[in-house]
Structure 1
Amino acid sequence: MRKHKILISMIVSIFFLSTMHAYAEEVSEEKNETLNLAEEAKSAILIERDTGTILFDKNVHEKLAPASMTKIMTLLLIMEAIDKGELKKDETVRVSERAASMGGSQIFLEAGEEMKVNDLIKGIAVASGNDASVALAERLAGSEEAFVQMMNKKVKELGLENTNFKNTTGLPADEHFSTAYDMAIIAKELLKYEDITNYTSIYEDYLRKGEENEFWLVNTNKLVKFYPGVDGLKTGYTSEAKYCLTATAEKEDMRVIAVVMGAETPKERNAIVSSMLDYAFNQYKTNKIFEKDEVITNLDLLKAEKEHVDVVASESVSTIHPKGENIDNISTEVTLKPDVELPLHRGDKVGMLRIKNGEEVLSEIPLTVNEDIEQASYITLFKRTIKEMVKYR
């Protein structure tokens, strides 16, 4: 009888572990209905940033006008350019007539005015400046139209099927749409650049401080001030889109992203997002495995100028599970590309890190190099050959 009890206990334990991740991955429709988290919104989603686990969803693939949440993609391309060295934060940008003529939310740039990239990013992230968005788009791509092509190319790279951008700002335009799910994934990608929250967490600041045309920046995302842990990301409003918000918050090493689209009032929108964040932090916790850019392994590249290259996690890596429960069978598996072509550039993918619970793959994270790697010169190869010959004499 005792053996039977032990056997039953083992079966129950195995079943529990195998279903726990599925539970965290997709909350059932019945559970969503019970939560009542976003009754007043057209669409909503709640995800954990590191794993991408969906904690709550409602009409997440419905195509809707994203309004100024469009600027999450604009900021993503700007931060990518900075990371690649294609744009410097202290660089000065000259504002075009077209950028200065943008309506809607703006920081009142004037044609011919020069402003540093760092301040233009503040203008986008804090005040939702349409003029600042176009100014940086023109700097990076030559025109807003060319930058929009970059935005839609990035949409495809992320595997998103229900987003199409027509401008960098979110101003109303035919065939300009996205979904709660797609906005969450774009936000997840943007948050790989951890210093973005240095901008989106600002509640108030000044541009051109001390000058005649000093401009007071006040964050359109009031939760930055009124909800502990919220440090971004972007609000949106047009008469078509209604009130929208993609918010992110971090507490006890867990970062979540909440997206709400189509709320009737800003108060309603903020209340919905606050309830979603409360739910995430009350019900779930994460275990951090690796930090972003932490060295995971090394590559030996005999034909590279630098022979031993660090391979790092492209983003922070965690597991997620309901509070009160632990997963004890977590393991990692590293697979590197068999043939790596040179030269390599910072951020190039050279492998994959798998996080596993037993044999179940919980998540896959690209492994990258964190520096540029050039092909070895003839002199380096010659010295390396001589060194090997001496070694085996």
Structure 2
Amino acid sequence: MAIRNAFYAQSGGVTAVINASACGVIETARKHPDRIGKVFAGRNGIIGALREELIDTSLESEEAIRALIHTPGGAFGSCRYKLKNISENQREYERLIEVFRAHDIGYFFYNGGGDSQDTAYKVSQIADKMGYPITCIGVPKTVDNDLPFTDCCPGFGSVAKYIATSTLEAGLDIKSMCESSTKVFILEVMGRHAGWIAASAGLASKSEAEPPHIILFPEIPFRREAFLERVDFCVKNYGYCVIVASEGAQHEDGRFLADTGNKDAFGHTQLGGVAPTLANMVKQALGYKYHWAVADYLQRAARHIASATDVEQAYAVGKAAVEMALSGKQAVMPIIVRDQARPYRWHIGEAPLSDVANQEKKMPIHYIRDDGFGITQDCRDYLEPLIAGESFPPFEDGLPKVARLQNELTEKKLKTEFTL
């Protein structure tokens, strides 16, 4: 068979282990020089393909590519740019095919969440329509853990480990000072429509008296009076109250507690500020001294405390994506299939991109406690294996050692430029 090049791109919010997937793709491709020539990476995701800004990863050493496993962020740059429906703007898709044709790209690996899998699926459709042979494989990634079919999403286990650890450590801090200082602490975490990240904080607790005392999930409508009653109960009985709130916490009518009124590049409501909103509510109603924090980018960049399970799975889906492409699979995404919980065993399966695209997996209701403020044993059993194991990066001069790539662009071949 003819040797053709591959294109890999990172999309959406990055994670502590997305580069491990990149490493899996590139290292596996390099093992098949008879099938795959160069692996080009899009500079800033799919935007790099549209602008014909292709990073030539063949110029990177084996050591540099291997270092991606312990490097957070997006090594080649990511983006929040969603291609429109083909019927609305076919030109974007035609441009992608033009770039792929110019650089003899026969494999397309798109590393991202639901919107990204939608893009990979649409590219496979337009390529078929235009008669251009290209294999499109999605590579799962999202800290929100909301992709369907897969048992978990690479990127989530490490965020879960960070949030559970932060809740444990901050809880001890608040407990030690609550007699004469702060009595209520609120940690805001990511999670627009699914409360997986917030739920992971529950792993820090071994009894009802230990934090987090309250978890707010997007799946459970916020009840102001019940919330304040629970806060007051915890302060009076335990001396303090630790709350972990998903950014997507919402009222019964669907309005987000932290709706800014703005939209992001994907058309999603921009969120931020649920922690201060709750803090002010507590202060006005109960008068307790409070502190709040937003985990924000720290939770998804914390490679120093990544889950070993997560790192292994992130690499595995990148490796599997290449193997699926070489075996003739088209428009599919490798998924993680749980064989058993204790001891945790899993294997790689697959799901069609047409079913994965733009779908969200919310928490099962039996994972949430009856009062809506905590997790059940079933949820704990699901989560614990995903944060298991340590995969510390190497350190240099007291700081984590990260990959430092050249990221040199290959020469453009098209005469026309593309404006976003």
Give the number of the structure with larger relative contact order, counting CA–CA contacts within 8 Å between residues 6 or more apart.
Answer: 2
Q: What TM-score do the two structures reach when normalised by structure 2? A: 0.22
| TM, length-normalised to structure 1 | 0.23
| Structure ranking higher in strand proportion | 1
Larger Cα Rg: Structure 1 or Structure 2?
1
